[in-house]
Amino acid sequence: MSKKIQRYNSYTSCRLFHILERKLTYTTMKQSYIFLIFLIISFNSCFSQKKETIKIKEQYTPLKTYENDKNVKNESKKEVFSYNYKLSSKRDTIRYYNDTYDTQDKTIPVTFILSRNKQENNAITLLVDEEAKVFDSIVIRFTDQQQVVTINQNDMYFLNLSYYTELKKSIINENNMLDLVDLLDDGLGDYPYQLKYLNKITSYKKYKNLDFKILKAVIKTNRTQSDGKDMWNVTYKYNNDNTLQLVTKISTDGEFAFEKKLLSKNGTEYKYKVHNNVESKYEDNDEVTFDVNKNTYSIVQNHFQFGLVKEEISQIKRILFTQE
pLDDT at 47: 52
Tell me if 312 is assigned to some domain.
yes
The percentage of the chain sitting over the pLDDT mark of 90, rounded to a whole number, equals 71
How many Å apart are CA 261 and CA 263, to the nearest integer? 6
Q: Does residue 263 register a pLDDT over 60? A: yes
Q: What is the pLDDT of residues 161-179, one digit of tens each?
A: 999 999 999 999 999 999 9
Q: SS in 3 state form for 222-237?
A: ECCCCCCEEEEEEEEE
CB atoms within 10 A of CB 179: 20
How many Å apart are CA 22 and CA 58, to the nearest integer? 38
**What residues make up the domain containing 166?**
56-80+142-323
Let me know whether 224 and 204 are in one domain: yes
pLDDT at 49: 52
Tell me if 306 is assigned to some domain.
yes
Number of domains in the chain: 2
Let me know whether 302 and 188 are in one domain: yes
CA triplet 189, 61, 97: central angle to 5 degrees?
A: 55
Q: Does residue 241 register a pLDDT over 70? A: yes
Tell me if 31 is assigned to some domain.
yes
How many Å apart are CA 262 and CA 288, to the nearest integer? 10
Tell me if 69 is assigned to some domain.
yes
Let me know whether 154 and 268 are in one domain: yes
Let me know whether 38 and 148 are in one domain: no
Q: Report whether 163 contacts 214 (CB < 8 A).
A: yes
pLDDT at 225: 72
pLDDT at 13: 40
Q: Does residue 279 register a pLDDT over 90? A: no
Tell me if 100 is assigned to some domain.
no
First to last CA, the chain: 29
The overall average pLDDT reported for the chain is: 86
Output phi, psi for 296, to 5 deg: -85, 155
Tell me if 91 is assigned to some domain.
no
pLDDT at 228: 85
Let me know whether 3 and 75 are in one domain: no
pLDDT band at 56, cuts 50/70/90?
A: very high
Let me know whether 187 and 290 are in one domain: yes
Q: Report whether 216 contacts 160 (CB < 8 A).
A: no
pLDDT at 118: 77
Tell me if 129 is assigned to some domain.
no
- The region of weakest confidence among 59-73, 107-121, 237-251 is 107-121
Segment 74-90 shows an average pLDDT of 93
pLDDT at 50: 65
Let me know whether 42 and 73 are in one domain: no
- The region of weakest confidence among 81-90, 131-140, 278-287 is 131-140
How many Å apart are CA 13 and CA 7, to the nearest integer? 10
Give strand ranges (E) for the chain. Answer: 51-67, 70-72, 79-88, 93-98, 110-116, 123-130, 134-143, 148-151, 155-159, 214-222, 229-238, 244-251, 256-266, 269-278, 282-291, 297-305, 310-323
Let me know whether 1 and 66 are in one domain: no
Q: Does residue 211 register a pLDDT over 50? A: yes
Q: Does residue 140 register a pLDDT over 90? A: yes
Q: Report whether 197 contacts 177 (CB < 8 A).
A: no
pLDDT at 1: 44
pLDDT at 119: 78
Q: Does residue 30 register a pLDDT over 70? A: no
pLDDT at 280: 75
Q: Does residue 218 register a pLDDT over 70? A: yes
Nearest Cα to Cα of residue 197 among 183, 185, 179:
185
pLDDT at 46: 47
Tell me if 118 is assigned to some domain.
no
Let me know whether 212 and 245 are in one domain: yes
Segment 211-215 shows an average pLDDT of 98
Q: What's the predicted TM-score (pTM) here?
A: 0.84
Let me know whether 168 and 30 are in one domain: no
The packing angle between helices 3-23 and 29-49, to 10°, is: 150
Let me know whether 74 and 1 are in one domain: no
Where is 182: in which H helix or E strand? helix 177-183
Sign for the CA dihedral angle at 86, 91, 92, 96 comes to positive
Let me know whether 31 and 73 are in one domain: no
